[in-house]
Amino acid sequence: MKVTIIAVGTKMPAWVEAGCGEYIKRLPRDYNLRFVEIPVGARAKNPDIQRAKQSEADAILAAIPKGDWVVALDVAGKIWSTEQLAGHLDSWRMSGNDLCILIGGPDGYAPSVLARANQRWSMSHLTLPHPLVRIVLAEQLYRAHTILHNHPYHK
């Protein structure tokens, strides 16, 4: 199963690349986890937030691989435990579809992105910085994998 994480924001600090890289390296090759970065929509002194969100939405929608199951990380989404995530990961793998997870921009998603999502997931009630979300997401995918394979990492 290919896992594509589409994230709004480019030029992440080295610690983000290193953190994500660590969990990508730990996952088996059949997960084929990769990040696709989308530029943040232009925001100036008096930004047109809707235009910026639409710019991000156009790029996100264009980057979603055809046929993928799409999960949007969204504050209004459902909160899952790690065990629930493992159950979803198992279901996604068994469905035969590849997985695409979306990390939105600073002002959230345009409605067209949420309409494309098959599921909406809130990682936490906390507000997390987007670079950190990338690492936490990669780690949680790895942890969910270890649960499914009875690996001691989760304990």
Annotated binding site: 73, 104, 123-128
Give the largest CA-CA distance in the chain. 52
Q: Tell the residue number behind the tokens 């068994």, with chain if given.
A: 94
Whether the Cβ atoms of residue 89 and residue 145 lie closer than 8 Å to each other: yes
Binding site for S-adenosyl-L-methionine: what residues are annotated?
A: 73, 104, 123-128
Supply the DSSP string of 75-116, one letter for each residue.
EEEEE--HHHHHHHHHHHHHHT--EEEEE-BTTB--HHHHHH
